[in-house]
């Protein structure tokens, strides 16, 4: 099976599940977010294993972040993330690892914050007024931008965006992706222009997502380059690991949440 066919098959199977969970919201989306966080954290621990990350603390912090987001909003989500700090400290104090505590504890907290917090913001966007439509707009915008950035880079990409972090990404691809993201968000929200976001506000939201999503992709690329791997896993076939698929969302969802608060 070719890489392209594998990617298409995985996308065809996964997209309906994700969209159905977003449509249903509530505990259905929460369950999907927890599953994504647990798998994503497992892949993250493999990336950072030389830092002796304290994985139990990270798992607890990420899951409590999602519980907090689901039940209490952004304040309780932050409280959930912060539980990773004292737990990591206690685990490090009894650990036999010689790795520096600064590296171990920092890597652990970053995993809880990046993955648990990033997915927590998906839940928070879904809980906003018009949250179902807003979440669809964020996801569709990210997916459209990622696809067109890849195609644009392959077709006419000449100028490297971050050659030492992600050599395959180009400024031409970024322009293609930005246009696609803004257009996708605009189309998704167009029918709600009189009741939710105006056309100008929808374009502004699309621009925020268009900037944040590639930064999330580049951040994960930096971690993979540091670990010397191409993908975080093989669970999703040609797509790589779960982190390879949600990296852009982990930055785009927080940015979209605060942009929506500012715009509405």
Give per-residue pLDDT as tens, 106-162. 999 999 999 999 999 999 999 999 999 999 999 999 999 998 988 887 788 788 888
**Dihedral angle computed from the Cα positions of residues 16, 17, 23 and 28, in that order, rounded to the nearest 10 degrees:** 170
pLDDT at 209 over 80: yes
Per-chain mean pLDDT for the chain: 91
pLDDT digits (tens, 9 = 90+) for 59-84: 999 999 999 999 999 999 999 999 99
Q: Quick one: how far is CA 25 from the chain centroid?
A: 18
pLDDT at 4 over 60: no
Residue 197 pLDDT grade (very low, low, confident, very high; cuts 50, 70, 90): very high
Cα–Cα distance, 184 to 83 (Å, whole number): 37
pLDDT digits (tens, 9 = 90+) for 240-249: 789 989 999 9
Q: What is the pLDDT of residue 206?
A: 97
Q: Give the pLDDT mean for 178-194.
A: 96
Number of Cβ atoms within 10 Å of the Cβ of 211: 15
Q: Give the pLDDT mean for 11-37.
A: 92
pLDDT at 193 over 60: yes
Q: What is the pLDDT of residue 5?
A: 62
Whose structure tokens read 């010397």? Answer: 228
Cα–Cα distance, 93 to 28 (Å, whole number): 38
Residue 91 pLDDT grade (very low, low, confident, very high; cuts 50, 70, 90): very high
Residue of 177, 151, 169 whose CA lies nearest to 221: 169
Q: Give the pLDDT mean for 81-103.
A: 90
Query: Which whole-number Å values give the CA distances from 163 to 107, 111, 170, 171, 225, in the listed order?
Result: 25, 25, 9, 11, 11
């Amino acid at each position: 099976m070719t890489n392209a066919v594998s990617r298409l098959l995985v996308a065809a199977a996964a997209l309906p599940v994700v969209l159905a969970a977003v449509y249903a919201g509530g505990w259905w989306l929460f369950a999907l977010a927890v599953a994504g966080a647990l798998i994503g954290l497992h892949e993250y621990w493999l990336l950072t294993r030389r830092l002796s990350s304290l994985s139990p603390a990270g798992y607890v912090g990420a899951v409590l972040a999602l519980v907090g987001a689901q039940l209490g909003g952004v304040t309780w989500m932050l409280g959930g993330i912060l539980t990773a700090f004292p737990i990591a400290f206690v685990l490090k104090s009894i650990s036999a690892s010689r790795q520096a505590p600064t590296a171990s504890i920092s890597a652990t907290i970053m995993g809880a914050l990046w993955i648990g917090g990033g997915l927590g913001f998906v839940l928070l966007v879904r809980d906003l007024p018009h949250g179902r439509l807003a979440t669809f707009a964020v996801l569709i915008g990210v997916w459209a931008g990622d696809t067109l950035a890849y195609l644009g880079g392959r077709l006419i990409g000449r100028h490297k965006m971050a050659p030492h972090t992600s050599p395959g990404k180009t400024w031409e691809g970024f322009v293609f992706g930005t246009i696609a993201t803004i257009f996708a968000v605009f189309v998704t929200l167009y029918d709600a222009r009189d009741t939710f976001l105006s056309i100008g506000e929808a374009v502004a939201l699309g621009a925020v997502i268009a900037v944040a999503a590639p930064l999330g992709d580049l951040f994960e690329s930096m971690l993979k380059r540091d670990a010397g791997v191409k993908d975080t896993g093989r669970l999703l076939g040609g797509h790589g690991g779960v982190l390879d698929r949600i990296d852009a969302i982990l930055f785009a969802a927080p940015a979209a949440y605060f942009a929506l608060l500012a715009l509405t």
